[in-house]
Structure 1
Amino acid sequence: MKRIKKLALKIISTPYLDMKKYYKQVRKLLNLINPPKEPIYKLLDHKMMLSDREIPVRIFIPHANSLPKLLIFFHGGGWVTGNIDSYTNVCANMANETGHTVISVDYRLAPENPFPAGVEDCYHVTREIFYHPEIIKYNPEDITLIGDSAGGNLAAVVSLMARDKGDFLPCRQILIYPATNYDHSSSSPFPSVIENGTDYIMTSERIQDYMELYVPNKEDRLSSYVAPILAEDLSNQPKTLIITAEFDPLRDEGEAYGMKLESFGNHVTIYRIKDALHGFLTNPLATTDINIAYEIINKFLRDKDIQVRNIDEKENYQVEKIR
Structure 2
Amino acid sequence: MAINKFMRLALKVLSYPDIDIRKTYPLERSIRYLRPPALLPKNRWRDHMILSDGREILTRIYSPMDDAGMDTLLFFHGGGWVTESIDTYNKVCYALACATRSCVVSVEYRLAPEYPFPQGLEDCYAAARELILRPAGFGFKAAGRVTLIGDSAGGNLAAAVSLMARDQGEFCIPRQILIYPATAADHSAASPYPSIRENGSDYLLTAKRICEYIDLYKRSDQDLQSPYFAPLLAQDFANQPDTLVITAEYDPLRDEGEAYARQLRDAGNRVTVYRMKDALHGFMGLGTGYVHVRRAHALINSFLSGRDRDESAGQLA
**Structure-1-length-normalised TM-score:** 0.92
- Partner of 2:314 in structure 1? 320
Q: Which amino acid aligns with 2:102?
A: H
Matched, 1:232 2:232: no
- Partner of 2:129 in structure 1? 127
Report if the CA contact (8 A) 2:95-2:288 is conserved.
no
Shift of 1:14: 4.2
1:164 to 153, 164, 167: 167
1:2 to 1, 4, 22: 4
CA distance, structure 1, for counterparts of residue 285 and residue 147 of structure 2:
20
| Residues 91-117 of structure 1: CA deviation (Å, up to 9, x unaligned) | 111111111100000000000000000
Q: Write out aligned runs for 1:211-226 (5 A).
A: 211-226=214-229
Q: Which amino acid aligns with 1:231?
A: A
Further displaced range: 213-222 or 276-285? 276-285
Give the 3 Å change call, closer, same or farther, for CA 160–34 of structure 1 in structure 2: farther
| Residues 105-132 of structure 1: CA deviation (Å, up to 9, x unaligned) | 0000000000000000000111011111
Shift of 1:52: 1.8
Report if the CA contact (8 A) 1:14-1:198 is conserved.
no
Report if the CA contact (8 A) 2:272-2:308 is conserved.
no
CA distance, structure 1, for counterparts of residue 218 and residue 289 of structure 2:
31
CA distance, structure 1, for counterparts of residue 132 and residue 126 of structure 2:
10
Give the 3 Å change call, closer, same or farther, for CA 285–293 of structure 1 in structure 2: closer
1:82 to 81, 84, 88: 84
2:245 match: secondary structure: strand
| Residues 6-55 of structure 1: CA deviation (Å, up to 9, x unaligned) | 12112222443211111111112112235213555611111101232100
CA distance, structure 2, for counterparts of residue 285 and residue 187 of structure 1:
37
How many residues are matched? 314
Matched, 1:189 2:192: yes
Report if the CA contact (8 A) 2:155-2:178 is conserved.
yes
1:266 match: secondary structure: coil
Matched, 1:93 2:126: no
Shift of 1:269: 0.5
CA distance, structure 1, for counterparts of residue 115 and residue 225 of structure 2:
19
Matched, 1:272 2:266: no
CA distance, structure 2, for counterparts of residue 11 and residue 198 of structure 1:
10
CA distance, structure 2, for counterparts of residue 6 and residue 306 of structure 1:
36
Give the 3 Å change call, closer, same or farther, for CA 14–121 of structure 1 in structure 2: closer
Matched, 1:108 2:102: no
Matched, 1:247 2:247: no
Matched, 1:261 2:264: yes
Matched, 1:176 2:179: yes
Report if the CA contact (8 A) 1:292-1:308 is conserved.
no
CA distance, structure 2, for counterparts of residue 199 and residue 246 of structure 1:
13
Give the 3 Å change call, closer, same or farther, for CA 45–172 of structure 1 in structure 2: same
| Residues 166-224 of structure 1: CA deviation (Å, up to 9, x unaligned) | 01111100000000001111111100011000010000100110000000301111100
Aligned residues: CA RMSD? 1.9
CA distance, structure 2, for counterparts of residue 61 and residue 140 of structure 1:
13
Larger relative contact order, structure 1 or 2 (CA cutoff 8 Å, min sep 6): 2
2:173 match: secondary structure: coil
Give the 3 Å change call, closer, same or farther, for CA 54–38 of structure 1 in structure 2: closer
- Partner of 1:31 in structure 2? 33
Give the 3 Å change call, closer, same or farther, for CA 87–195 of structure 1 in structure 2: same
Shift of 1:284: 3.6
Report if the CA contact (8 A) 2:251-2:280 is conserved.
yes
1:91 match: secondary structure: helix
CA distance, structure 2, for counterparts of residue 34 and residue 156 of structure 1:
31
Q: Which amino acid aligns with 1:273?
A: M
CA distance, structure 2, for counterparts of residue 192 and residue 288 of structure 1:
23
Name stretches of at least 5 consecutive residues in structure 1 with no aligned partner.
310-318
1:305 to 299, 305, 308: 308
Give the 3 Å change call, closer, same or farther, for CA 149–263 of structure 1 in structure 2: same
CA distance, structure 2, for counterparts of residue 41 and residue 320 of structure 1:
37
**Structure-2-length-normalised TM-score:** 0.94
Report if the CA contact (8 A) 1:72-1:103 is conserved.
yes
Q: Which amino acid aligns with 1:155?
A: A
2:314 match: secondary structure: strand
